[in-house]
Amino acid sequence: HSADAHRTDLMTITRFVLNEQSKHPESRGDFTILLNNIVLGCKFVCSAVNKAGLAKLIGLAGETNVQGEEQKKLDVLSNEVFVKALVSSGRTCILVSEEDEEATFVEPSLRGRYIVVFDPLDGSSNIDCGVSIGTIFGIYMVKDSHEPTLDDVLQPGKSMLAAGYCMYGSSCTLVLSTGSGVNGFTLDPSLGEFILTHPDIKIPKKGKIYSVNEGNAKNWDGPTTNYVEKCKFPKDGSSAKSLRYIGSMVADVHRTLLYGGIFLYPADKKSPNGKLRVLYEVFPMSFLMEQAGGQAFTGKQRALDLVPTKIHERSPIFLGSYDDVEEIKSFYAADE
């Protein structure tokens, strides 16, 4: 291919997914329709985020969510857009959102075979200061679409068919895996299309960055404390790691995926299950990390093997470069 061929051979996310789908002859195009509706939601949120300051969309919505967090106007707006886009797609039967206390069971006339778990706006605390935020989603296939129940949602992350995130930063980047690798697409605002810009993303086997909120250090357990100490004061003569922590999981994970390293949200005395939510933060990011050649660990087990019992359940998470996660696993193994 010459460079121009790439310029004129526009690989849009829709075309990419259709190519993927042709590998599954049994599929009827439903996944592509579902994905197109998720992409529509991301385009809407991207434009709302970009003009939030102007459109008086920053600030609080004056409500608190089931997490006990004060909802931002953009949290609520993004959630409504995604719920409506997913329900109207006619391809979903259950939705779980960070911003809704209960799961949404789609009415029979609009019911499809997919379950979508999502964090409509991740990193909300960063909205008002203009730091990158994002949307995170995971997709399961329902077992029995006649009478879908919560059991269909409380599945281990390894049962997900697909997962991804969209980051609203200097550019709008959508990173997606449908189970055969990870690909990144960048929104071309002039076309309104996501174009393939990061084909077949593989995370470096080992990185030089650790990413954790050091402000919680006094509450960490032994293995996390010892591991972070080793990052800062390596005994084997290797150089210390750099600390990079943005406070938006999507931004911290995107940097980890591209540059390598490890992202940690450990358990601590105040929150024994850590802070991040299993269904729509831990599972999708762990799915992507494994698909990119990295791994994800809860401190006790492979993150994708976890079986949630509640839809807003939390878990500690250590994810990123294969070798870096191996190392913290050895600290936890030694602690048993």
Per CB under 5 A, the segment of 33-41, 42-50, 68-76, 166-174 that binds Mn ion is: 68-76
Q: By CB under 5 A, is residue 69 in contact with Mn ion?
A: yes
Q: Which is nearer to Mn ion, 166 or 231 (CB)?
A: 166
Q: Which is nearer to ligand AHG, 32 or 97 (CB)?
A: 97
Structure tokens at 123: 């990193």
Q: Is residue 210 within 8 Å of 229, Cβ to Cβ?
A: no
Q: Which is nearer to Mn ion, 241 or 277 (CB)?
A: 277
Q: Which is nearer to ligand AHG, 20 or 252 (CB)?
A: 252
Residue from 247, 258, 312, 327 in contact with ligand AHG (CB under 6 A): 247
Query: Which residue in 105, 107, 125, 41 sits closest to 77, CA to CA?
Result: 41
Q: How many chain residues bind ligand AHG (CB under 6 A)?
A: 12
Q: By CB under 5 A, is residue 252 in contact with Mn ion?
A: no
Q: Which is nearer to ligand AHG, 141 or 249 (CB)?
A: 249
Q: By CB under 6 A, is residue 98 in contact with ligand AHG?
A: yes
Q: By CB under 6 A, is residue 248 in contact with ligand AHG?
A: yes
Q: Write the interaction track for ligand AHG spanning residues 122-141; mark x where CB under 6 A is met and - where it is not.
A: xxx-----------------
Per CB under 6 A, the segment of 137-145, 194-202, 248-256, 305-313 that binds ligand AHG is: 248-256
Q: By CB under 5 A, is residue 122 in contact with Mn ion?
A: yes
Q: How many chain residues bind Mn ion (CB under 5 A)?
A: 5
Q: Which is nearer to ligand AHG, 119 or 290 (CB)?
A: 119
Residue from 52, 91, 94, 98 in contact with Mn ion (CB under 5 A): 98
Q: Is residue 262 within 8 Å of 211, Cβ to Cβ?
A: yes
Per CB under 6 A, the segment of 25-33, 119-127, 159-167, 183-191 that binds ligand AHG is: 119-127
Q: How far is the CB of 290 from Mn ion (least distance, A)?
A: 20
Q: Which is nearer to ligand AHG, 73 or 113 (CB)?
A: 73
Per CB under 6 A, the segment of 116-124, 160-168, 236-244, 294-302 that binds ligand AHG is: 116-124
Contact set with Mn ion (CB under 5 A)? 69, 98, 119, 121-122
